[in-house]
Structure 1
Amino acid sequence: MSMENRNILLILTDQQRVDTLKAYGGKVCQTPNLDQLSEDSIVFTNAYTSCPICTPARSSLQTGYYPFNVGMQANSYGSHCLIRELPDHPDLLSRQLQKQNYSVGYTGKWHLGQGNDSAETQHYLSQGEHVIQFPEFKYDMRSLPSDVGYEADDFPGHGIGGYHYKQFKDYLEENNLSFETKNKLSGNFDVHTAAEVVSPIESTVEYYLTERAIHYMERFRKRSKPFFFALNYWGPHEPYMAPTKHLDLYRDMELEPWPNFYDEGHKKPSIHKAKSAKSKEWEAFAPYVKHYYGFMSSIDEQIGRIIAYLKEHDLYDNTTIIFSADHGESLGIHGGLSDKAFFMYEETCRIPLFVKPAGNSVHREENHFVGTCDLYATILELAGVEREKAENRDGRSFAPMLRNTDEPLASWPDCVVTECSGLESVMYTQRMIRYEKMKYVFNCGDLDELYDLSKDPYELENLIDHADYAEKLRFLRLRLADWMVQHRDGALKIFKRMRDLP
């Protein structure tokens, strides 16, 4: 039974650690609906984000390019993001799907366009006449989902959880609801906040987005053509808003510290300190972790509603469901790190990814390295685009891995790379390469990192100057340089010069 030209549902979370899921060895966070979905899916064990920051990763998903080839290398309000509004182009994911006669829909976090009406845009516009305007402001350019072909809800900017948009407020008012929280947590992180949601589940953004997804799929299923729909939750990215019923699952637990929580930073890059929390005590982190888990369990409940809708309307078997995240989360790893960027640890760079193919359900693990750019090519091939055209980007289609056939994969890349260029107003160039069980990180202007994940899965010992690993280090640097050539990475010349490579 062919998977091509079937419905495709992409469910994307924001800043989700893989260890929130039992499919990846998680033991605490309760996600029964995702656990069940994984039993019908191919679970990718070595999936990595193109960049552990929201806007860059999402630009890769929509274009198939690494962020350095898009110009969106930081969040769209960041000082080193060359493009603030994702340009409309015939090769965007949405436009290519339209050419395949797909209905295309989108709701939730976008973060690839501000729109001149967003609060974040108004912040820049109010800085005074001495500030040179971005071209997008001056010429009233904007890129929201509906501007690039989606039948969509337009939520400009970052969204900060989605609670402040007029559409959500209107939904609450129309349904006689209010969103209410108590017991707010703040203080240990620069930006992370958490709270307990005491209003009904129907008042949450997660419930609202699920309602919107059902609304669009209900419209699409009545048409005589397949659909692609992207449901993008803002969580479990902070603010960690955990409804009481979900927080109760963890409230009285004694959480064990992360296996790499106690890391004094010996032989680690100094840039890691840019995201250090105020406290170094596990007791200061545990409440945030509980809210994070509660938030994720709340999202899982809504994913269960989506799956129930598909099954009720005989869509489940005819729909490829792709579940993933834009990047991971730290939450106190390695001596109290918070947020993401500036460090290339597994918790922030590795992402959950499993795919339930249309047709007969399967369950197995897939160990090939895959990345965010591969999602673009894969979705297009599943929609009927010729593989060669779908792969005319930085990514490859892993659709053959979904068929459980003997189709050769000898040419599949033997490594995966994650890039980063800093966060907020701090520019900082990094490239991370995973090859076999080794990880190498190029930290421009700082100490490089080398980890042997077969012996040190929690990345506690930086082997960058270990004599026994000198040959592997040289090999990984050369392998990264080759990759940079293949992908037209502009950092190549500086990398080779700084690390004495031919």
Structure 2
Amino acid sequence: MSEKQPNILFIMADQLATSALPIYGNSVVKTPHLSSLAEEGVVFDSAYCNSPLCAPSRYVLMTGQLPSKIGAYDNAADLSADIPTFAHYLREQNYKTALSGKMHFCGPDQLHGFEERLTTDIYPADYGWFPNWDDLKTRPTWYHNMSSVTQAGPCIRSNQLDFDDEVVFHAQRYLYDYVRRDQDRPFCLTVSMTHPHDPYAIPQEYWDRYSNDDIELPKINIKKEDQDPHSARLQEVYAYHDQDISEQEIKNARRAYYGAISYVDDKIGLLLKALKETGLDDNTIIVFSGDHGDMLGERNLWYKMSFFEGSARVPMIVHAPKRFSAKRVKESVSTMDLLPTFLEMATNSQQHTYAMPIQGKSLMPHIEGRKNGHDEVIGEYFGEGAIAPLLMIRRAQYKYVYCHIDPEQLFDLDNDPDELNNLAVDPNYADLLGTFNKEALERWDSNAMTQDVLISQRRRRLIVKAMNKGKRVTWDHQPIFDSSEMYMRNHIDLDDLESRSRFPKVE
């Protein structure tokens, strides 16, 4: 390859709502580093996840395949080791592939193509967090409730702070180690933080970056009796109606969430600093995205798990100002498109032979300003709150949501960005609704998918029950560091040791 392959730094934030970012119009939240990346980069104004739940969204992102293709049904789904990921494809192209942080892999393969995994995951690797469509009346007790909102506020430490501090520390060290060693292969480093995911708790420093008066309340309130069936099921899943929630508690949750976003932005600043200090910034493409959003109380909904904009839209920025001119992209794309995008970035070629058909489409036409970019997102959801497949088509200004047990939904997002007017009940849109319905019925077999989900849940339920008997063996990733080669060791000449550890090198 004549042109030097670029490094790729892929940064992820968990449960980051586009509505909370200045680059998408929020005037309260402070994110100077993300805003700087956006100012010089390509910003996607209509990017989505394909399944609004942590594990399914990440499996889709990693593989370029929709959930039903790879069995990515819920947060305890197994990602089969023989499904190629972007880490496999890039590693085949001679990339060093490393992951620092969360990817929510479930099952015995905890690498999925990553040559190195620098931390463990914040979530368990077993099959324990599965919904149960065989028992729809029982609320899953392992699922969190509204305490994330009612207990929101400042804290000194939390699980998530412990995790993300470690994630970014190891990512920085990876960059410093890379520049101090032979740079014979380019790198793709994925840095995946768990903030601003609930619980909404953040150190006083970040809490104090905002005042109570800064925090706006949700603008859309929908009564219990007026909720669509899926939203009503979601409220049941996280026990929304089991307590009264005050306006101040809502403000506290949003204030802590905004503080968590600023925390993420500060961590991004550390990564950018490391890139600049090492001189790696000139040949590194930075991609930033999220795995799904957060409703933050809009429509009286919290967290994710629906195809409403707050839950399903994600931020997406591609930053490489020496390669791509700054622009905004209005067409609808998805995180499923990242695998072919990364591969095209790595090879500078649009022609690739995939080991299995790829459902994602490269974003490079949008990034480079070519005219053949796509404008479509396909979504599937089978997780908490669903009792049958929930399916979505986003195209042009329309979003269509289909579930064979629920009324259809059709929204014109250009004229109704808050999704308050369901055009599926408007006779003037009967033809358009019929077109979408016909496509959904041709694209999906809901009854067959329901049976696939039920069988998957039953298999995993049996495995969890069996593995909890007797000796317990876990699949959680155990990072291994070769301490014999770290810091000061006497099997290496002292001058050589100090020389190879110092950057920049002293002549």
Instruction: Place the TM-score, normalised by the shorter chain, in its bin.
Output: 0.7 to 0.9
Partner SS, residue 30 of structure 2:
coil
Number of the residue aligned with 1:401: 366
1:165-222 deviations in whole A, cap 9, x for unaligned? xxxxxxxxxxxxxxxxxxxxx974478854423369x974333211110112223333
On the 8 A contact 1:214/1:309 being kept in 2, the answer is: yes
Q: Distance in 1 between matches of 2:384 and 2:197?
A: 16
Q: Distance in 2 between matches of 1:493 and 1:208?
A: 43
Number of the residue aligned with 2:10: 10
1:353 to 305, 316, 330: 316
What amino acid sits opposite 1:346 in the alignment?
E
Gaps of 5+ in 1: 115-141, 161-185, 496-502
Number of the residue aligned with 2:229: 270
1:416 to 349, 374, 377: 377
1:326-355 deviations in whole A, cap 9, x for unaligned? 001112111x212221x3100001110010
On the 8 A contact 1:188/1:284 being kept in 2, the answer is: no
Q: Output the TM-score relative to the length of structure 1.
A: 0.77
Partner SS, residue 367 of structure 1:
strand
On the 8 A contact 1:3/1:358 being kept in 2, the answer is: no
Q: Aligned runs of 1:137-152 on 2, under 5 Å?
A: 142-145=108-111, 148-152=113-117
1:21-51 deviations in whole A, cap 9, x for unaligned? 1111111111111011111110011111010
2:329 to 345, 366, 376: 366
Count of residues paired in the alignment: 421
2:347 to 384, 387, 391: 384
Greater helix content: 2
Q: Aligned runs of 1:96-495 on 2, under 5 Å?
A: 96-114=89-107, 142-145=108-111, 148-156=113-121, 158=123, 188-189=146-147, 194-198=152-156, 204-221=162-179, 222=181, 223-260=183-220, 262-264=221-223, 268-276=227-235, 277-278=240-241, 279=244, 281-334=246-299, 336-341=300-305, 343-357=306-320, 359-360=322-323, 362-384=325-347, 386-389=349-352, 392-404=357-369, 407-409=370-372, 412-423=373-384, 427-481=387-441, 484=443, 489-491=444-446
Partner SS, residue 422 of structure 1:
coil
On the 8 A contact 2:41/2:324 being kept in 1, the answer is: yes
Structure 1 residues 6 and 190: CA distance shift in structure 2, 3 A:
closer
Q: Distance in 2 between matches of 1:38 and 1:386?
A: 25
Structure 1 residues 188 and 491: CA distance shift in structure 2, 3 A:
closer
Q: CA deviation at 1:246?
A: 1.0
- CA-based RMSD of the aligned residues comes to 2.9
Structure 1 residues 472 and 159: CA distance shift in structure 2, 3 A:
same
After TM superposition, what 4+ stretches of structure 1 lie above 6 angstroms from structure 2? 492-495
Number of the residue aligned with 2:80: 87
Gaps of 5+ in 2: 126-143, 451-507
Structure 1 residues 358 and 250: CA distance shift in structure 2, 3 A:
closer
Partner SS, residue 428 of structure 1:
coil
Q: CA deviation at 1:252?
A: 2.9
Structure 1 residues 443 and 16: CA distance shift in structure 2, 3 A:
same
Over the matched positions of the two proteins, sequence identity in percent amounts to 27
Structure 1 residues 157 and 187: CA distance shift in structure 2, 3 A:
closer
Q: CA deviation at 1:5?
A: 1.8
1:381-427 deviations in whole A, cap 9, x for unaligned? 111175342674000111232224xx440xx4442122111317x53
Q: Distance in 1 between matches of 2:193 and 2:73?
A: 22
Q: Distance in 1 between matches of 2:73 and 2:392?
A: 15
Q: CA deviation at 1:476?
A: 2.4
1:219-252 deviations in whole A, cap 9, x for unaligned? 3333222100000001111122312111102243
On the 8 A contact 1:330/1:347 being kept in 2, the answer is: yes
Structure 1 residues 284 and 463: CA distance shift in structure 2, 3 A:
farther
Partner SS, residue 253 of structure 1:
helix
Q: Distance in 2 between matches of 1:148 and 1:345?
A: 32
Q: CA deviation at 1:455?
A: 2.2
Structure 1 residues 112 and 187: CA distance shift in structure 2, 3 A:
closer
